[in-house]
A = this chain, B = another copy of it.
């Protein structure tokens, strides 16, 4: 199983040389690399996909060995190896859930999915049919003095449930709740949401209605990292579909489901395969 290395730092001469020397001297073979900068006064981004070959180290060990180079070039970097652990948040819509479980089963999305968490009991049968644990974690407004407290309690429970699974990232498969700043801070740039509009247009509620009112000729969907600003996090993937004057809002919703699935799974694949660097609220998504 290959090792991925992601690097971001100010550009300088010799970075690629020193990094690839490190790989070579430690016995690895680079099977794919991409690197880009806008020149010496700009930022440098790199991704390596390394066949370990004779490179018998854990990601942790590699990180330690690499630290001198990283320091020299003021790098942010990350080694990773092996399938990540991904948790899924859902509510009642199941199309994105089915799509990623299907793609997971076919091997298109290479992760472990130890559990699916929902604020509703409805989709347990889907989790069951794919042999994945379903954790029903409702927001119990009636048991708390405020909605905020009820939600905080629910999020605390989710965090607790996630803990033993060593979750690397979380995907919101049309999870119809806004996660709190506190919750998100536990998984920085590691929670992927799908919004059913071509952001930055039509943020917030009912984007297909907004699109209809505006009279756009193309609708879209956007997968992005959740941040505390609603629908404003770094964009990972977007896709669109044409609409015609005959289409109603219901038709937009229907057509939109396909686009939501496409951008959501595309974003998940990119994250799972360590192809994303977040830099200044934008993403570098390597091919």
Write the residues of chain A forming the contact surface with B, with a CB cutoff of 8 angstroms. Answer: 11-14, 16-17, 20-21, 23-24, 27-40, 45, 51, 53, 94-95, 98, 102-103, 106-108, 125, 129, 198-201, 214-218, 220, 234-240, 244-246, 248, 254, 257-258, 261-262, 281-287
Contact = CB atoms under 8 A, between A and B. Distances in A.
Contact of A200 (B45, B201, B245, B287): B201
B40 A282 contact: no
B24 A32 contact: no
B39 A35 contact: no
Nearest to A199: B216
B36 A245 contact: yes
B45 A285 contact: no
Nearest to A251: B108
B24 A31 contact: no
Contacts of A200: 201, 214, 216
Nearest to A30: B16
Contacts of A239: 218
20 contacts: A11-B31, A12-B29, A13-B29, A13-B53, A16-B16, A16-B20, A17-B21, A29-B40, A33-B34, A39-B51, A40-B53, A94-B102, A103-B254, A108-B254, A129-B129, A198-B201, A218-B238, A245-B283, A245-B284, A258-B262
Contacts of A286: 245
Nearest to A235: B215
Contact of A254 (B11, B29, B106): B106
A251 to B, nearest CB: 9
A79 to B, nearest CB: 17
Given A32-B35, A215-B234, A258-B262, 13 more contacts: A14-B24, A16-B20, A16-B23, A17-B23, A21-B21, A30-B35, A40-B51, A40-B53, A198-B218, A199-B216, A215-B282, A216-B238, A245-B282
A207 to B, nearest CB: 12
Contacts of A235: 214-217
Given A29-B40, A257-B106, A281 B215 contact: yes
Nearest to A201: B201
A22 to B, nearest CB: 9
A37 B31 contact: yes
A16 B29 CA distance: 9
Contacts of A285: 217, 244-245
A125 B217 CA distance: 35
